[in-house]
Amino acid sequence: MLDGVNSKPDFDTMAVHAGREDLVELGLHAPPLDLSTTYPARDSRAEAARLEEFAEGARPPGQPVYARLDNPTVGRFERALAELEGAEQAVAFASGMAALSACLLATVAAGRPHVVAVRPLYGTSDHLLASGLLGTRVSWATPETLAAELRPDTGLVLVETPANPTLREHDLRDLAIACGEVPLLVDNTFATPVLQRPIECGADIVLHSATKFLGGHGDVLGGVVACREGFARSLRQMRFVTGATLHPLAGYLLLRGLSTLPVRVEAASATAHELATRLAEHPAVLRVHYPGLDPLRPRGQLRGGGPLLAFEVAGDPHAVIGAVRLITPAVSLGSVDSLIQHPASLSHHIVGEDDRRNAGISEGLLRLSIGLEHVEDLWADLSAALEAGAARRAG
């Protein structure tokens, strides 16, 4: 809380005010939405010099010349997210995968194309690394073998915690030590800065699929990377040439989403913990994956259990999916409504079967993203669906 004029505000207060600090001076209450695709200027020589700065990844003052280079509305979201993650800068992209692609391209351009990654990851992230489509070469590791996989050309270590879709946690402080001088990139989509701030634990780069909890309403697509200024310049260079820019309206919606992020995440986390506890006692459930129920989890890292859980059913998982009536049967997560999906069929279907199995993604695993519905309504829907699944054995 604020103890004086120079005290740092509480996180909840930061979430409301970040990116909006100048609005009173501008005589505005809501942040302005700038939809311009080009920015006129009569001084062509000055514009040429500024264009060169943008091409080098800088952010010169003034208007951005062209919307692919920068946008004032998106810039507000970037400043806000950087503040919430405790980072020097943030760079926004058209999607989470565009953000990850820019990170990988930056490592390739720096002459260090080798990446060490810890499974499980989001399925498309796994596929991108395994395919080598962007010129990277990947070595898969466990937290225990990570240090042994590092090479002179290793440019990045990639981990997701809590992991998608098993909710497995990794000790970021231990991983940061194992990485040595190699940058550690943490996908923080599941936790959000409300529950976990990886930079405080030694990470160098934090990635979000902003589509999820940051937006929070299932109506905006985006990605963002929080990091130091040096890496941010490299990312802006990639965005400059690839055009993977975040639309200003998406930036506006994401900034608005940040203001309610703590309230949404904390409410959904409380419901998730209650549902995970009940699922653990249900006869149709073989195992529940939820950080809040794990006595061996890393301490002082994830604040609470989080708003996602996964569970393995004894019956037919597809029958469970087909039987829900309140919960939305769909991919994605982080919306105000609860969503359930079968990772082996959807989010991780593109990952090879053996790799899925080795990462703990069984055929009976279901992933549940908790929204803002009442816990008893969600439990009634889940209970009925589990009964339907139990009536049919998994094929």
DSSP-assigned letters across all residues of 33-92: ----SB---S-HHHHHHHHHHHHTT---SS--SBTTT--HHHHHHHHHHHHHHT-SEEEE
pTM equals 0.95
| Residue 214 in this model has a pLDDT that exceeds 90 | yes
Give me 153's structure tokens.
């050309």
3 pLDDT exceeds 60? no
Catalytic entry in 187, 204, 316, 381? 187
- As a whole number of angstroms, the distance between CA 358 and CA 215 comes to 32
Q: Residue 185: count other Cβ atoms within 10 Å of its Cβ.
A: 27
| Residues sharing a CB contact under 8 Å with residue 61, sequence separation 6 or more, in sequence order | none
Instruction: State the catalytic residue, choosing from 59, 76, 119, 212.
Output: 212
- How far is 251 from 293, CA to CA, in rounded Å? 35
Whether 253 and 291 share a structural domain: no
d(CA 53, CA 67): 15
Compute the distance between CA of residue 364 and CA of residue 313 in angstroms, rounded to an integer: 5
Q: Is 187 part of the annotated catalytic residue set?
A: yes
Assess whether 105 and 195 both reside in one domain.
Answer: yes
* Tokens representing residue 270 in the block: 């409380």
One domain for residues 133 and 254: yes
Query: What's the confidence (pLDDT) of residue 295?
Result: 87
Report yes or no on 120 lying in a domain: yes
> pLDDT tens-digit profile of 84-108?
999 999 999 999 999 999 999 999 9
68 carries an active-site annotation: yes
Residue 291: predicted pLDDT: 95
Residue 151 predicted with pLDDT over 90: yes
Q: Which of 218, 184, 190, 220 is nearest to 92 (CA)?
A: 220
Q: Does 232 share its domain with 287?
A: no
Mean pLDDT on 344-361: 89
User: pLDDT tens for residues 48-73?
Assistant: 999 999 999 999 999 999 999 999 99
Please write the tens of the pLDDT for every residue from 182-207: 999 999 999 999 999 999 999 999 99
Q: What is the CATH number of the domain that holds 326?
A: 3.90.1150.10
Query: What's the pLDDT band for 393 if we cut at 50, 70, 90?
Result: low
Mean pLDDT of 261-268: 98
Which residue in 34, 59, 76, 122 is the catalytic one? 122
pLDDT band at 391 (very low <50, low <70, confident <90, very high): confident
Q: Which residues contact 227 (CB under 8 A, 6 or more apart)?
A: 87, 88, 89, 90, 91, 204, 205, 206, 235
* Sheet arrangement for strand 365-369: 285-289, 308-313, 365-369, 339-341, 328-329
| Owning domain of residue 328 | 261-390
Q: Are residues 88 and 190 in the same domain?
A: yes
Residue 364 lies in a domain: yes
Which of 225, 259, 293 represents a domain boundary (last residue)? 259
* Burial annotation 224-234 (CB, 10 A radius, 16+ → b, else e): bbbbeeebbbb
- Residue 1 covered by a domain: no
Radius of gyration, CA atoms only, the chain: 21
Do 126 and 138 belong to one domain? yes
Domain count, the chain: 2
Q: Which residue has the tokens 């946008």?
A: 71
| Domain membership flag for residue 114 | yes
**Residue 278, number of CB atoms within 10 A of its CB:** 16
Together in a domain, 195 and 337: no
Q: Are 165 and 348 in contact (CB under 8 A)?
A: yes
Which among 224, 242, 259 is the end of a domain? 259
CB 131 within 8 A of CB 257: no
Instruction: Say yes or no: 268 and 177 in one domain.
Output: no
Position 394 confidence tier, pLDDT thresholds 50, 70, 90: very low
pLDDT in tens, 310-324: 999 999 999 999 999
Indicate if the pLDDT at residue 251 is higher than 60: yes
Q: Which has the closest alpha carbon to 224: 128, 83, 124?
A: 83
The answer as to whether 278 is a domain residue is yes
CA 191 – CA 212 distance, rounded (Å):
11
How far apart CA 87 and CA 168 sit, in angstroms, is: 25
Domain boundary among 259, 285, 310: 259
Helix (H) or strand (E) holding 389, with range, is helix 375-390
Q: Tell me what the mean pLDDT of segment 156-160 comes to.
A: 98
> Could you tell me if 235 and 278 lie in one domain?
no
Query: Is 212 one of the annotated active-site residues of the chain?
Result: yes
Task: Summarize the confidence of residues 379-388 as an average pLDDT.
Answer: 96
Spatial contact of 137 and 167, defined as CB atoms under 8 Å apart: no
What is the pLDDT at residue 2? 45
Place of tokens 């990794």: 170
The verdict on 147 and 39 lying in the same domain is yes
92: domain CATH number is 3.40.640.10
* 249 domain-assigned: yes
314 and 342 in a common domain = yes
Asked, for residue 118, whether it belongs to a domain, the answer is: yes
From the list 66, 68, 171, 355, the catalytic residue is 68
The reply to whether 354 belongs to the active site is no
Domain co-membership, 364 together with 216: no
Residue located via tokens 């930056």 = 106
Q: Is the pLDDT of residue 5 over 80?
A: no
Mean per-residue pLDDT of the chain: 95
Residue 6 lies in a domain: no
Q: Would the pLDDT of 392 be above 80?
A: no
Contact criterion met (CB below 8 Å) for 112 and 139: no
